[in-house]
């Protein structure tokens, strides 16, 4: 995504008129620029499809995890009703893990929404830049007396772009963890465990106070 983002930024900021004036072969330069813009749009469309699918998977995962969260809460109450504090604690720990999973998934969904908004904006800008380039190409073709050949290429490009939604992204990008992130992972994990333990301890105290024991019958 980083390479595409850099390419998109360069294409959007490019000055077509200045490029034409500086080119030794304006028609060839315009055709190449148009192809580059179309390739960038295709890549972004592929990213948009992947991001939408990822968001749907996250939403489905949240729904399932929320059900598990509620189930662990019920199990903790059942365990306390039977004086099994050890089981109640384990159930509450499992519930806290569910809550953390849900929180992380929601953060990822928020990031996905931000990515989709950014992609939409970039595609619109590229479409505008593509139209600008096409207009320049038409003008150049007319000046060169080759408008027929140029229009044929444009029509082919339009047909190609109309099937963008069926194309997959052509390049995959991976991000590497930094050394600092790896060394701090254990610290983050330990702190998270301490936070979960504190939350569970507080919940256990509440359950202890609210646990109802069955009343014993008085001997006659």
Contacts of residues 82-88 at CB distance under 8 Å and 24 or more positions apart, as own/partner, are: 83/211, 83/213, 85/204, 85/208, 88/204, 88/207
- pLDDT digit string, tens, across residues 26-79: 788 888 888 888 888 888 899 999 999 999 999 999 999 999 999 999 999 999
**Whether the predicted pLDDT of 172 surpasses 60:** no
**Whether the predicted pLDDT of 149 surpasses 90:** no
The mean per-residue pLDDT over the stretch 198-204 comes to: 83
- Percentage of the chain lying above the pLDDT 90 cut: 32
Sequence-distant (6+) residues with CB within 8 A of 49 are 165, 168, 169
- pLDDT digit string, tens, across residues 101-137: 999 999 999 999 999 999 999 899 888 888 888 888 8
Sequence-distant (6+) residues with CB within 8 A of 181 are none
Distance from C-alpha of 117 to C-alpha of 3, rounded to nearest angstrom: 18
- Prediction pTM value: 0.62
Q: What is the pLDDT at residue 28?
A: 81
Distance from C-alpha of 35 to C-alpha of 195, rounded to nearest angstrom: 53
Token pair of 1 as six digits: 């995504």
Q: What is the pLDDT at residue 67?
A: 96
Q: What is the pLDDT at residue 93?
A: 94
Q: What is the pLDDT at residue 33?
A: 84
Q: What is the pLDDT at residue 15?
A: 66
Lowest mean pLDDT among 74-83, 130-139, 188-197: 188-197
Cα torsion 29, 33, 39, 42 to 10°: value is -140
């Amino acid at each position: 995504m980083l390479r595409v983002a850099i390419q998109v930024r360069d294409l959007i900021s490019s000055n077509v008129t200045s490029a034409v004036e500086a080119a030794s072969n304006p028609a060839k330069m315009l055709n190449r620029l148009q192809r580059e813009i179309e390739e960038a749009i295709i890549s972004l469309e592929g990213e948009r499809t992947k991001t939408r699918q990822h968001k749907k998977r996250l939403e489905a995962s949240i729904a399932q995890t929320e059900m598990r969260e509620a189930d662990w809460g019920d199990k903790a109450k059942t365990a306390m009703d039977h004086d099994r504090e050890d089981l109640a604690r384990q159930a509450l720990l499992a519930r806290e893990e569910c809550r953390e999973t849900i929180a992380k998934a929601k953060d990822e969904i928020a990031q996905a929404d931000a990515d989709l908004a950014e992609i939409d904006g970039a595609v619109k800008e590229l479409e505008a830049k593509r139209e600008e380039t096409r207009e320049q190409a038409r003008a150049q073709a007319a000046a060169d007396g080759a408008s027929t050949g140029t229009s044929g290429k444009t029509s082919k490009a339009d047909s190609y772009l109309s099937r963008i939604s069926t194309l997959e992204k052509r390049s995959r990008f991976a991000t590497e963890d930094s050394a600092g992130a790896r060394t701090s992972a254990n610290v983050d994990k330990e702190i998270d465990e301490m936070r979960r333990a504190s939350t569970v301890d507080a919940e256990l105290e509440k359950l202890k106070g609210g646990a109802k024991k069955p009343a014993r019958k008085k001997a006659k």
